[in-house]
Amino acid sequence: MAQQEDVFKKIVSHCKEYGFVFPSSDIYDGLGAVYDYGQNGVELKNNIKQYWWQSMVLLHENIVGIDAAIFMHPTTWKASGHVDAFNDPLIDNRDSKKRYRADVLIEEQMAKYEDKIQKEIEKAQKRFGDNFDEATFRATSERVLENQQKYDNLHHRYQEVMNAEGGIDLEGLKQIILDEEIVCPISGTRNWTDVRQFNLMFKTEMGSTADGASTIYLRPETAQGIFVNYLNVQKTGRMKLPFGIAQIGKAFRNEIVARQFIFRMREFEQMEMQFFIQPGTELDWFAKWKEIRMKWHQNLGFGAENYRFHDHDKLAHYANAATDIEFHMPFGFKEVEGIHSRTNFDLSQHAKYSGKKIEYFDPERNESYTPYVIETSIGVDRMFLSIMCHSYEEQQLPDGQIRTVLHLPAALAPVKLAVFPLTKKDGMPEKAQEIINELRFHFNCKYEEKDQIGKRYRRMDAIGCPYCVTVDQQTLEDNTVTLRDRDTMEQRRVAISELRSIIEDKVSITSLLKKLL
Ligand code: GAP
């Protein structure tokens, strides 16, 4: 566990050192849970977005895109339920003045019991070696049974308060924190305030005069921009059910506990698709979209064992199925994407609050109805983080040296080809530039002439550049270069005229998309 935390810390500093992610307003010591993407980060992020956008909009004839404004009419958020119910339960420690999510404090306490059990198992495993039988050990070890009992009791109580009639039982949450003797990690005391609901939406005002100004919200999800445009798109695009609307854009949540780098941010980006369908077909479509989305993730080649579905047992009142796609991050399996069967809740609510008829006339059934919706919703930043975590490697080389390499899927890498002149003379820089001038129209290239070749390779490994080319004396004679592969570090001699055909297909988003079909 500690080792994994170290790896994660290294990934965070690598992101900063190599121009992927910086804390926002870094010169002012940053802003909590807000980040900027640097010169390499923005390229990787754009490639992720392109992979998603094209897999939705290019590969599906019945999915179109939109780009709705971040500001929306305030009634949107009343209708969607966000004004009344988009809350987290918060609690303050009076001594440290630190604020926590009450539910997270309890979940961390449950994780502590699980950790204790796991440690007992690992100790016994070492002691008994091949003869170890985990099931028998779990059923007989006193320490395991004791911690399991504590975990089960806490889990049961927690479920009860979180799912109480009429919403979360806030007093019940506080009582659990007191009974479990949970202390503030900063002050070490149990001097807690009551638990209060905290709305996660950021507010601002629109209008120039204080009197005339109205409160508006920064959108906490992009989905509502799609719902309010359902009629516009369906009519102007003459869309027939089933059809989808896709959107990529910023979303904002005033997260109480923002941790784990870009995993939980206050300003982040979502890629959402709402798929409008005939009522009654939703469970089939839900299953189909689960399959399509999992394939999209696994297509990156990170290994099926690093993904799992987490189907929700408890559903929001308007949903009739929901699952998360979780990825194996250094801090455990974590949600990257949500897939939800949202019935006709959102469209019906907007019809009610706007007074507009939001329906679909089905020519085959000769009737009008409010479509049902399957939503796929993925965070760009979480996807970015999962890719970074999986790609980062500190590789031990045969000569004992360590090279830090990002095994990014070539199609997502910020730079596809680096071109180096062996020396800065004899026309080698000009030749290298000539190669770049030819290839830059096809993929992202970078010219590097500083330091010896070995160091230049390392810098390119660290940003995940899949190919490097070196121009040397022989190039000037026969127009060939050495082409070096990032992952195998193998070098081969190839003609300059072949470079494009060797590289282009491997680094294009199209190559990824073709594997989806
Ligand atoms: N429209 C549905 C919706 O917004 P969600 O599960 O709240 O559902 C969807 O969010 C995805 O957005 C998550 O799976 C996650 O990838 C991303 N996401 C949500 N909150 C985030 C945050 N604070 N920081 C970064 N990504 C976030």
Q: Which strands make up the sheet holding 99-101, listed edge to edge?
A: 99-101, 87-92, 196-199
Determine the atom of ligand 1 nearest the C-alpha atom of 383.
16
Q: Which residue is closest in CA terms to ligand 1's atom 5?
A: 338
Q: Which residue is closest in CA terms to ligand 1's atom 19?
A: 379
In this predicted structure, the answer to whether residue 318 has a pLDDT above a threshold of 90 is no
378 alpha carbon to ligand 1 midpoint, in Å? Answer: 7
Mutate to test the pocket of ligand 1, among 221, 259, 263, 346 (most ligand atoms within 8 A of CB): 221
343: left (phi over 0), alpha (psi -120 to 50) or beta: left
Q: What is the rounded average pLDDT of the residues 440-455? A: 96
Nearest to residue 409, comparing CAs of 163, 10, 48? 48
Average pLDDT, the chain: 95
| Confidence tier at 492 by pLDDT (50, 70, 90) | very high
d(CA 409, CA 512): 9
pLDDT of residue 316: 80
Q: Which residue is closest in CA terms to ligand 1's atom 20?
A: 264
Determine the atom of ligand 1 nearest the C-alpha atom of 340.
2
pLDDT of residue 211: 66
Instruction: For the domain made up of 87-199, give the CATH fold.
Output: Herpes Virus-1 (3.30.40)
pLDDT of residue 516: 96
In this predicted structure, the answer to whether residue 274 has a pLDDT above a threshold of 90 is yes
Q: Which of 137-141, 397-401, 480-484 has the highest mean pLDDT?
A: 480-484
Determine the atom of ligand 1 nearest the C-alpha atom of 258.
23
413 alpha carbon to ligand 1 midpoint, in Å? Answer: 24
Q: Which residue is closest in CA terms to ligand 1's atom 4?
A: 221
| Confidence tier at 453 by pLDDT (50, 70, 90) | very high
Every domain of the chain and the residues it spans: 1-69+221-396, 87-199, 404-516
258 alpha carbon to ligand 1 midpoint, in Å? Answer: 13
Mutate to test the pocket of ligand 1, among 45, 259, 377, 386 (most ligand atoms within 8 A of CB): 377
For residue range 47-98, what is the model confidence (pLDDT) as tens digits? 999 999 999 999 999 999 999 999 999 999 999 999 998 999 999 999 999 9
Q: What is the rounded average pLDDT of the residues 379-407? A: 96
Q: In terms of C-beta distances under 8 Å and separation of at least 24 residues, what long-range contacts does 447-455 make, across chains too?
A: 447/418, 447/419, 447/420, 448/418, 448/419, 448/420, 449/420, 449/421, 449/424, 453/420, 453/422
Query: Which of 257-266, 396-405, 432-441 is predicted with the least confidence, judged by mean pLDDT?
Result: 257-266
Determine the atom of ligand 1 nearest the C-alpha atom of 263.
25
Which residues lie closer than 8 Å to 447 by C-beta, 6 or more apart?
418, 419, 420, 432, 433, 436
Query: Which of 28-42, 154-168, 321-335 is predicted with the least confidence, judged by mean pLDDT?
Result: 154-168
In this predicted structure, the answer to whether residue 209 has a pLDDT above a threshold of 90 is no
The model scores a pTM over 0.75: yes
Establish whether domains 1-69+221-396 and 404-516 are of one fold: no
d(CA 185, CA 183): 6
Instruction: Work out the percent of the chain whose per-residue pLDDT is above 70.
Output: 99
d(CA 413, CA 45): 9
pLDDT of residue 210: 64
Q: What CATH homologous superfamily does 1-69+221-396 map to? A: Bira Bifunctional Protein; Domain 2 (3.30.930.10)
Furthest C-alpha separation in the chain: 81
Amino acid at 361: F
Q: What is the rounded average pLDDT of the residues 4-28? A: 95
498 alpha carbon to ligand 1 midpoint, in Å? Answer: 44
32 alpha carbon to ligand 1 midpoint, in Å? Answer: 18
CATH of domain 404-516: 3.40.50.800
Instruction: Work out the percent of the chain whose per-residue pLDDT is above 90.
Output: 90
d(CA 375, CA 369): 19
Q: Which residue is closest in CA terms to ligand 1's atom 9?
A: 377
Mutate to test the pocket of ligand 1, among 72, 201, 252, 270 (most ligand atoms within 8 A of CB): 270
Which residue matches tokens 């950790």? 115
Output the ligand 1 site: residues, CB below 6 A.
Answer: 221, 223, 253, 255, 264-265, 268, 270, 272, 335-338, 375, 377-379, 381-382
Strands 402-406 and 21-23: unpaired
| Confidence tier at 2 by pLDDT (50, 70, 90) | low
Indicate the DSSP class of residue 34.
Answer: B
270 alpha carbon to ligand 1 midpoint, in Å? Answer: 7
